[in-house]
Every structure is written in structure tokens, then in C-alpha cells.
Amino acid sequence: MREYTFDEIVELIRVDENTGEETKCRSYAEIASVRGSETYQAMTVGLKPELMIVLPDWFDDYHGEKRLIYSGNEYRVLRAYKTEDLRAELTVYRLRPGVSDSDTFL
């Protein structure tokens, strides 16, 4: 099993469904490459996943957020996955001109 250092910081953006108010929560993260199979699946619907953001704990760090900021760039969560060791793996992409801002998860 891979050892993570969680030496990066991401800001997860939580949106209140009733008010639309945004709250940002910081979390430590590990930045990894996107798996090949996820890249091909996303490309079939016109998306290009760029990063895999790994958070230390599914329950403490991830609460269904669909957007995050990393290194000054805003990303959308394409897919969220809870690993066997209860980490959160978020496959994310940046919007490009002509690409829909979809909340679709693969």
C-alpha cells in the first residue's frame, strides 16, 4: 500500500443548498496522477481529469464538496471514491472553454 505524506493544502468549497452560501475548508492532501481508465471514461463525455486529490480521511475531510481550490486553480470533482483504508480519492478537472460545468460523476 502506498504511503502518503499529505504535504499539500487544498480548500474544499462547500455550498449550502438552501442559501447558496459558500464555505471553504482547508485540508491536507496528497496530489497523485489520474488512473488511465478514469481518463478514458471522462474523455468520452468531453472532460479531461487532471489530478487525483487524496485526503487523509473520508469522514473527517470530505463532505460531498463538488469544487475545490488547489495551487490557485479551481477544480470540479468528477468522481469521489472512499478507499478501503477510508481515505478520500477525488478525481478533479479544471473547466475549459466549451466544456460544460457538469456535476456528473463517472
Q: Structural domain of residue 73, as residue ranges?
A: 8-89
Question: Residue 103 CB: number of other CB atoms within 10 A?
Answer: 10
Q: What is the pLDDT of residue 4?
A: 80
**pLDDT grade for 105, boundaries at 50, 70 and 90:** very low
pLDDT confidence of residue 103: 45
Is position 104 within any domain? no
Residue 45, pLDDT score: 59
Tens digit of each residue's pLDDT (9 = 90 or more) over 9-68: 999 999 999 999 999 999 999 999 887 666 555 555 566 788 999 999 999 999 999 999
Judge contact between 65 and 79, C-beta under 8 A.
no
Tell me if 84 is assigned to some domain.
yes
- Is 1 a member of any domain? no
Residue 45 lies inside a defined structural domain of this protein = yes
Task: Specify the pTM.
Answer: 0.79
List Cα–Cα distances, 14 to 2, 75, 93, 99, in angstroms: 29, 13, 17, 22
pLDDT of res. 31: 95
